[in-house]
Amino acid sequence: MKEKTGMFVLICSIWLSLGVFVPAAVEIDASKKRPPVSPYIYGQFIEHLGRCIYGGIWAEMLEDRKFYFPVTDEYKPYTKLTDQPFPVVGSSPWQVMGPAGSVKMETNDPFVGVHTPLVNAGSGIRQKDLGLVNGKEYKGYIWLRAPKGKGEVAVTLKGGEGKALIRKVGDKYRKYEFCFKATESTDKGELEIAVNCAACLIGTVSLMPGDNIRGMRADTLAKLRELDSPIYRWPGGNFTSGYEWRDGIGDRDRRPPRKNPAWTGVEHNDFGTDEFLDFCSEIKTEPLIVVNTGLGGPYEAGQWVEYVNGAASTPMGTVRAANGRSKSYAVRWWGIGNEMYGPWQLGFMTLNHYILKHQETVMRMRTIDPSIKVVGVGAIDFKIEKHFPGEKRDWTTGMMEQCADSMDWISEHFYCQKKDDVPTHVRLIPDNIHRIAEGHRNLRGKLPSLAGKDVRISMDEWNYWYGPHLYGELGTRYFLKDALGIAAGLHEYFRCTDIIDAAFYAQTVNVIGCIKTTKTEAFLDSTALPLMLYRRHFGTLPLEITGEVKDIDVMAALSADGKKITIGIVNPLAQPVEVPVIVKELKLAERGCVWTIAGTDPMAFNDESAKTRLDVLKKPVSFDGILKVPAFSINVFEFSF
């Protein structure tokens, strides 16, 4: 080992004389292992916000299919992001096809919600801006009633072949199905519903790609499977503090449409509890459900646990069975609200109020199912005094003092803006993780309430958050420099396995997401790549590392079977780097491999026109004590020993 170290010094001297950047040697001690990496570090978070669920995961193509907004003669559907490809719908997206006044909203005995459109004979409604792929099949249905009988309705898809002619519409609601095949690829398809013979009420309408998987987009699911996250947090986020979960169960066409309680647009309630749990089953992941402790309360949370986990003989288990699922879902992880410390949150409250609500909610939920694991709301640096004068504690300290016996994890959140300097930008993520972890370590040393306890951190929202909304509300684009920061963040999580048990990248699809979708395609954004790479190939037994490495982030871990070592190197610099590495206690094989994400431009990105501009590339590599990495790169080396 001394001979190798001497050789490194000689080589480094030569490099320096040639003007090559040389970091100090990195020493990896294979005999000093940190606690194992929890698979939950690779968690994901989805919320009913923007195009994360509707337009991202859920396959429904029609906006406002239940007519939350009244259909009027004035057609101005988009109210926000009107200069972007995915504007926000703020009024009815249905355009009247007949004369003024030929469509009115009937409030007497509506099919769903508070009103139903009544369309006169000779009129109709259409929805524009539908995404179609040439040759692809599209399936849908419509609920119709002709109050006076003898109705006739024609449904056509502009950009598709065929027409669905529905005759003899009666005076009772009935569901009629239709199917089209697209004859062109376009984002300007239109669904037209023309009423003949007699006025008709239109209850709900639906149109989905024929390859949807139980209502979910097949292309998005394929990318989610590549991501392979072991756990998903849902339904929020701020959304959960105003969410009535009972709105999202039962017959989807009869679930009421609502104003999104936290964000813009309509909550269709098409993707509810059963759909989320079906989603988790489909992509083979574990669910974490966050209950409403904002406008909701303990009784409602207990009922939700019973609906999900109770036997079919229990009151809410009976409801679940009637909805098609007799067997318990056995969901283990439950969050007790979201960011209840913040004035932006529905039901925002004092720390003492939340402590009482947390304890009562957990007691109610565990009375229903004692086996559940719960996540309390934390905020290590949030000083309550600025909102409630006289309260000196930070939120996390108060929770740890009073609720350590009634939670298994405590949540922490952080988001980062941007820095123009790439190394500084990259460090934003790991520095925040380190800050929060250190705060919790300090609490463990000074709070008597934590003696003998092991309440670990669930970093259940973390990410960069900046830039224009190109993929709908909060649909920001990510760049190579963001991917570098996410990789460095993973390295920091591996250094904090003593205190951090879970991390949920926020959010998965479109909304500050690592997967983006157009109307007809899904692709991996830059930040998905390190999450996938480390999930698939990085070890699970982190090792101690010493050595000064300015700007270069290095982490190492053994594989679960103890037969391989993986070494991660994040280089945020504009030049390639050759890193001297000493591995103590192991003799590595001379040949191995490396997976690399790299580019010459830190602002490189993937989009619908170049879906793999940034990608993970694998190649063989030799180990002679030097690991070479490109500029602006993420690298995971693997060697046997």
Q: How confident is the model over 593-638, as pLDDT tens digits?
A: 999 999 999 999 999 999 999 999 999 999 999 999 999 999 999 9
DSSP states of 80-143: E-TTSSSPEE-S--EEE-SSTTSEEEE-SS-SSTT-EEEE-TT-EEEEEEEEE-TT-EEEEEEE
Q: Where in the chain is the domain with CATH 2.60.40.1180?
A: 2-33+542-640
3-class secondary structure, 367: helix
At 182 the pLDDT is 97
Fold of 2-33+542-640: Immunoglobulin-like (2.60.40)
Cα–Cα dist 170/368, whole Å: 46
pLDDT value, residue 361 = 98
- pLDDT for 550 equals 86
Residues of the chain with CATH 2.60.120.260: 78-209
H helices present in 310-380, as ranges: 315-322, 351-368
Name residues whose C-beta falls within 8 Å of residue 343's C-beta, 6 or more positions apart in sequence: 387
Are 492 and 36 spatial neighbours (Cβ–Cβ below 8 Å)? no
Please state which of the ranges 1-15, 84-98, 214-228, 403-417 shows the lowest mean pLDDT.
1-15
Q: Check: CB of residue 304 under 8 Å from CB of residue 512.
A: no
* Pairing assessment for the beta strands 373-377 and 333-336 based on DSSP bridges: parallel
**Which range, of 77-86, 366-375, 407-416, averages the lowest pLDDT?**
77-86
- The DSSP call for residue 548 is -
Q: What percent of the chain has pLDDT over 70?
A: 96
* pLDDT tens, residue by residue, 482-496: 999 999 999 999 999
pLDDT at 465: 98
**pLDDT at residue 220 greater than cutoff 80:** yes
Distance CA(386)–CA(379), nearest Å, equals 14
578 - beta bridge partners? Answer: 628
* Mean pLDDT of the region 290-310: 98
Q: Are 484 and 96 in contact (CB under 8 A)?
A: no
pLDDT of residue 21: 47
- DSSP string computed for 272-287: -HHHHHHHHHHTT-EE
pLDDT surpasses 90 at 389: no
Strands 409-416 and 456-464: parallel
Which tokens sit at 184?
A: 């062109």
User: What is 39-56+213-537's CATH topology?
Assistant: TIM Barrel (3.20.20)
Q: How far apart are CA 387 and CA 390, in angstroms?
A: 9
pLDDT at 393: 81
Has residue 32 got a pLDDT over 50? Answer: yes
Adjacent-strand bridge partners of 195: 153
Nearest-angstrom CA–CA distance, 640 and 409: 35
Closest CA to 619 of 579, 592, 598, 590: 592
Coil/strand/helix, residue 16: helix
Phi, psi (5° rounding) for residue 585?
75, 0
Structure tokens at 182: 């697209």
Q: Is the pLDDT of residue 22 over 60?
A: no
User: Beta strands 26-33 and 577-584: pairing type?
Assistant: parallel
Within 8 A by CB and 6+ apart from 572, the residues are: 422, 423, 425, 426, 481, 484, 488, 551, 552, 553, 602, 632
Q: Which pLDDT score, from 0 to 100, does residue 2 have?
A: 42
pLDDT at 233 over 70: yes
> How are the residues of the chain apportioned to helix, strand and coil, as percentages rounded to the nearest 5?
25, 35, 40
Asked if the model's pLDDT at residue 15 lies above 80, the reply is: no
CATH fold group of domain 78-209: Jelly Rolls (2.60.120)
DSSP three-state, residue 335? strand
pLDDT of 16 > 50? The answer is no
CA-nearest of 501, 386, 424 to 36 is: 501
∠ CA 635-639-641, rounded to 5°: 155
The whole-angstrom separation of Cα 366 and Cα 146 is: 50
State the pLDDT at residue 288: 98
- Decide if pLDDT at 526 tops 70: yes
Q: Which residue has the tokens 């009244």?
A: 70
The C-alpha atoms of residue 611 and residue 523 are separated, in whole angstroms, by 6
Q: Confidence class of residue 225 from pLDDT cuts 50, 70 and 90?
A: very high
Q: Is the pLDDT of residue 454 over 90?
A: yes
The predicted pLDDT at position 530 comes to 98
The band of 25, judged by pLDDT with boundaries at 50, 70 and 90, is confident
Per-residue buried b or exposed e for 134-164, using 16+ beta carbons within 10 Å of the residue's own CB: eeeebebbbbbbbeeeebbbebbbbbbeeeb
Integer Cα distance of 362 and 302 in angstroms: 8
208: tokens are: 């989905």
Cα–Cα distance list, 560 to 106, 143, 545, 548, 581 (Å): 63, 54, 19, 28, 22
Tell me the one-letter amino acid at 149: G
Give the span between the Cα atoms of 140 and 192, in whole angstroms: 13
| Euclidean distance between CA atoms 291 and 305, whole angstroms | 9
What's the mean pLDDT in 432-460? 95
579 has which bridge partners? 627
Which H/E stretch holds residue 486?
helix 480-495
Mean of all residue pLDDT scores within the chain:
94
pLDDT given at position 386:
75
Band of pLDDT at residue 3, cut at 50, 70 and 90: very low
